[in-house]
Amino acid sequence: MFNINDIKNGMTFIFEGNIYVVLEFLHVKPGKGAAFVKAKLKNLRTGSIVEKTFNTSIKLEKAMISKQGMQYLYATGDTYNFMNMQTFEQMDLTNEQLGEDAKYLKEGLNVDVTFYEGEMLGITLPEKIEYLVTETEPAVKGNTTNNAQKDATMENGLKVRVPLFINQGEKIIVSTKDGKYDSRA
């Protein structure tokens, strides 16, 4: 148990039967009345982000989250296969468990799988991933408007808007936060 005044970004705790991680927080001390803490939290089971206000006298239970480094191997239908690189145990995750993160997976990608007391909560992708451009149109001469972009398809089927100078067969880096082109590899 810990007091809400000791809250920090990245802490995980149990509140009302859900597991949350703190994204942002703010201690508020109004001129009149008692102090309180406003926090932006992410539910680790559902992935939803909520804002909650806590009285400063409240105590919360810490959630001990464990992460295991695993490598993505392959997909069969809606099932994705991962392997623990230390024990070589394999684990299948469904499309529902991965959610939006599934579109960034490519063979050989190392991810962290998050667990709470044996319950799989999700995966943590690297911030940026390198992909091979397998399909894109050639640049059109004279199309030099500010920030001109074209569609490109990556090796795993992910579609990304890229600058005109990127060609088929090049490697690029894509941000997993917003799914946008970051730079050449």
Neighbours of 130 (CB within 10 A): 17
Does CATH place domain 65-124 in 2.40.50.140?
yes
At 59 the pLDDT is: 92
Phi, psi (degrees; rounded to nearest 5) at 138: -70, 155
> Hey, what CATH topology would domain 128-184 get?
OB fold (Dihydrolipoamide Acetyltransferase, E2P) (2.40.50)
Is 146:134 a contact under the CB 8 Å cutoff? no
How is residue 158 written in tokens?
A: 């992910």
Neighbours of 24 (CB within 10 A): 11
- Taking alpha carbons only, the member of 65, 91, 50 closest to residue 12 is 65
Dump the DSSP string for 36-90. EEEEEEEETTT--EEEEEEETT-EEEE--EEEEEEEEEEEETTEEEEEETTT--E
Which ranges in the chain are annotated with CATH 2.40.50.140?
65-124, 128-184
User: N- to C-terminal Cα distance for the chain?
Assistant: 45
Q: Which residues, 6+ apart, have CB-to-CB distance to 118 below 8 Å?
A: none
Does CATH place domain 2-62 in 2.30.30.30?
yes
- Taking alpha carbons only, the member of 25, 120, 14 closest to residue 64 is 14
Per residue in 108-162, pLDDT tens? 999 998 888 888 888 889 999 999 999 998 876 666 667 788 899 999 999 999 9
Residue pointed to by tokens 């067969």: 169
Per residue in 25-68, pLDDT tens? 999 998 888 899 999 998 888 878 899 999 988 999 999 989 89
At 71 the pLDDT is: 94
Would the pTM of this model clear 0.85, i.e. be above it? no
At 143 the pLDDT is: 60
Is 146:163 a contact under the CB 8 Å cutoff? no
Query: Quick one: 101 exposed, middle or buried, by C-beta within 10 A (0-12, 13-18, 19+)?
Result: middle
